A and B are shown apart, each in its own frame.
Chain A
């Protein structure tokens, strides 16, 4: 298995939703978000379109003391009127709570004269019944919009690797305890 693209969405026009509505399920996921603002934007994340009280978090803003929340209806990955970069790693193993470690940077006012802000988070997603993560929604519920070219992408750990098996290859079948040789795209038992 290999790291692979599980899904990506780039906005062609400003909007309130930056979503990957159908993505491959993976045990380990790296979520990348680079979103831009048009007015005040509060990007609230949900998995699997689940807005029940199934989220909990711990977060630090600009290195301050942790604050926490439980039984949340979304994950508050946002700062407000600012461009953002998020890098998040989330585990999604069947039968286990979905746990994530995430970092965000927020540009604040444009220009080198204003320092960016940061957020460090850990999150839980506890769907009932249990479900693998196959959809990610980032919804703005404030007055502005995500601007054009905002992007969300997910890399997953369980992609299919490229195989380049050439004639003469020997394959040992562990089910049948037999060996095969490849010639002209046909496996022949040895």
Chain B
């Protein structure tokens, strides 16, 4: 176990973990926050300036628009580049890619009244090279579990080969505003970094060593990052699913692509289904926007073995999933992994980690 920090300057751990001389040498950390803007009122843009030079950025976008336009963004050095210096390749809801030169980077695929969106983006930032950008987006469309979420995947480039970026601007090319509370958080990481902090705080780790449901509880945060490796008891009939805060009501909806096929949707579900066919040893990467008063939006990508025996002579499986949990009163503070095909004993073992940040 790791040392557990308790209230009142108290710690709890094993003899070996009792820190010698009170200190231990920390590792060089991962992603750190380098910029953030949260709107205190409606605005046509969300601007993040004075971004320090980092080789890699992770950008979190949590936003709502007040009228019909697509969320876009631009980059800049000293000033935002409004020229025709971008090119995008986008797939909307698993459809065929579309491409085009533009004056912006595309982020989402449209708007409906009440729509909320979460996008996670990565950028490579070398001064004398084109800036390469990839993002994934989930949107609620309209509120309620009877409405499946939508998703978008975009790769883009900013053809600036003379400067690094130091400005990020969410914007639109139509009328309308980003609603109050919309936010852009820019994280950075550079090979030369020496910081020992992290934006992403580890909230909990769960190790499952016997068959059963797997539950992990943690302190709620606004942004949640989850990775899990879970082994199903019966790979030929697995229904790996997740419930938030033990909610078994019909409050979940999802959109997914399996093995790159056309998107399918499920609405008014009593869990977020991560698979509805065979597989074993699931590994997933998942992000959640976790505001208490809004629907929770999920972006997940998952791989799995097909059979228990596995091996390199067996092709891995692949899922792309967006989901929503329609609770608008609580933050997610626990995950319960269940196997709806095998019942309460369906998960034989696994490791789940949850990181978060406000």
**Separation of A97 and B313 alpha carbons in the complex (Å):** 12
**Is A63 a contact of B97 with CB atoms below 8 Å?**
yes
Q: Is the interface of A mostly helix, strand, loop or mixed?
A: strand
| A105 CB-CB contact with B under 8 Å | yes
**Separation of A151 and B305 alpha carbons in the complex (Å):** 30
Classify chain A's interface size: 35 or more
Interface residue from B95, B259, B311 paired with A66 (Cβ < 8 Å): B259
Given contacts A1-B2, A71-B313, contact A164 B23 (CB under 8 A): yes
**Is B12 a contact of A172 with CB atoms below 8 Å?**
yes
Given contacts A4-B29, A5-B30, A96-B281, contact A103 B134 (CB under 8 A): yes
The total of Cβ contacts below 8 Å across the A-B interface reads: 270
Contacts of A5 in B (CB 8 A): 27-30, 193
**Separation of A155 and B187 alpha carbons in the complex (Å):** 14
**Is B191 a contact of A151 with CB atoms below 8 Å?**
yes
Interface residue from B24, B198, B313 paired with A56 (Cβ < 8 Å): B313
Query: 1/0 per residue B230-246: CB within 8 Å of A?
Result: 01000000000000000
**Is A115 a contact of B89 with CB atoms below 8 Å?**
yes
User: Which residues of B6-37 are within 8 A (CB) of A?
Assistant: 8-16, 18-19, 21-31
Interface residue from B122, B153, B159, B316 paired with A57 (Cβ < 8 Å): B316
**Is B3 a contact of A122 with CB atoms below 8 Å?**
no
| A51 CB-CB contact with B under 8 Å | no
- Closest chain-B Cβ to A180's Cβ sits at a distance in Å of 7
Given contacts A36-B129, A112-B87, contact A107 B157 (CB under 8 A): yes
Interface residue from A30, A91, A165 paired with B229 (Cβ < 8 Å): A91
Contacts of A100 in B (CB 8 A): 283, 303
| A80 CB-CB contact with B under 8 Å | no
| A42 CB-CB contact with B under 8 Å | no
Query: 1/0 per residue B306-325: CB within 8 Å of A?
Result: 00001111111110100000
| B301 CB-CB contact with A under 8 Å | yes
**Separation of A126 and B315 alpha carbons in the complex (Å):** 12
- Closest chain-A Cβ to B40's Cβ sits at a distance in Å of 30
**Is B229 a contact of A113 with CB atoms below 8 Å?**
no
Question: 6 tightest A-B contacts by CB?
Answer: A3-B30, A4-B27, A159-B27, A115-B99, A162-B26, A122-B303
Contact surface of B with A, Cβ cutoff 8 Å: 1-3, 8-16, 18-19, 21-31, 55-56, 84-89, 91, 94-97, 99-101, 122-124, 126, 129-130, 132-134, 153, 155-157, 159, 161, 189, 191, 193, 196-198, 200-202, 205, 227, 229, 231, 259-260, 281, 283-285, 301-305, 310-318, 320, 351, 353, 355
